[in-house]
């Protein structure tokens, strides 16, 4: 009986194939691409300067009517309380000395932001503060525009042309100057 022998060639071995890891290996850190800022059209500084140049006189006009309206409002309150004294309207340099009041109103109106995470009491207090500052500012501007003293000037006559124009002028003179000044400043500083 003949016995077969195995060939003396290479013997088959187990496969050396490696298993894939359960989690793929991390790629090496790739830096973020460098993004160039967009090219500026060159309108920022001149437009910002013009916005400020238009906004400042409008703010002064609105502040003047607001101060006149504050005096009218204080005198209305004094008449309601039957007080004999009345507050005279500020004239001349007193208008310049009272500018910080207008700046404070403008700052509160444009800078106070509602904090939704501060709790209901803080949210209610901020809502009341904002409603009072916006409401008082618009109402006193309206009182100043619609007073007889304002109607004696040329600007006052234009602002009182129709029955609805003092209302519109009060809102415009309350918000437009601040928007122009803030927008112009952001264009100048970008």
What integer pLDDT is reported at residue 44 of this predicted model? 76
What integer pLDDT is reported at residue 38 of this predicted model? 63
What integer pLDDT is reported at residue 14 of this predicted model? 60
What integer pLDDT is reported at residue 110 of this predicted model? 77
What integer pLDDT is reported at residue 85 of this predicted model? 85
What integer pLDDT is reported at residue 55 of this predicted model? 93
Q: Report the largest interatomic distance among the alpha carbons of the chain, rounded to a whole angstrom.
A: 143
What integer pLDDT is reported at residue 51 of this predicted model? 92
CB-hemisphere CA count at 13 Å for 170? Answer: 25
Tokens representing 53? Answer: 């140049």
CB-hemisphere CA count at 13 Å for 89? Answer: 15
Give the residue among 185, 181, 190 at the shortest CA–CA distance from 55. Answer: 181
pLDDT along the chain (190 residues), means of 10: 60 63 67 65 79 92 88 92 87 81 79 77 86 90 84 79 88 91 86
Cα 161 from Cα 100, distance rounded (Å): 31
What integer pLDDT is reported at residue 57 of this predicted model? 92
Over the chain, what HEC string results? Answer: CCCCCCCCCCCCCCCCCCCCCCCCCCCCCCCCCCCCCCCCCCCHHHHHHHHHHHHHHHHHHHHHHHHHHHHHHHHHHHHHCCCCCCCCCCCCHHHHHCHHHHHHHHHHHHHCCCCCCCCHHHHHHHHHHHHHHHHHHHHHHHHHHHCHHHHCCHHHHHHCCCCCHHHHHHHHHHHHHHHHHHHHHHHHHC
pTM exceeds cut of 0.75: no
């Amino acid at each position: 009986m003949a016995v077969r022998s195995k060939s003396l060639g290479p013997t088959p071995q187990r496969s050396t194939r490696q298993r894939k890891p359960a989690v793929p290996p991390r790629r090496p850190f790739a830096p973020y691409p460098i993004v160039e800022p967009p090219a500026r059209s060159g309108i920022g500084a001149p437009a910002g300067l013009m916005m400020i140049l238009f906004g400042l006189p409008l703010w002064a006009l609105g502040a003047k009517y607001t101060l006149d309206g504050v005096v009218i409002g204080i005198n209305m309150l004094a008449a309601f309380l039957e007080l004999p004294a009345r507050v005279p309207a500020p004239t001349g340099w007193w208008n310049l000395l009272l500018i910080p009041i207008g700046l404070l109103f403008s700052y509160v109106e444009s800078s106070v932001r509602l904090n939704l995470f501060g709790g209901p009491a803080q949210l209610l207090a901020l809502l009341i503060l904002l409603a009072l500052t916006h409401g008082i500012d618009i109402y006193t501007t309206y009182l100043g525009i619609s007073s007889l003293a304002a109607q004696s000037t040329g600007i006052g006559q234009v602002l009182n042309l129709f029955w609805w124009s003092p209302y519109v002028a009060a809102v415009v003179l309350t918000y437009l100057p601040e928007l122009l000044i803030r927008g112009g400043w952001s264009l100048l500083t970008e």
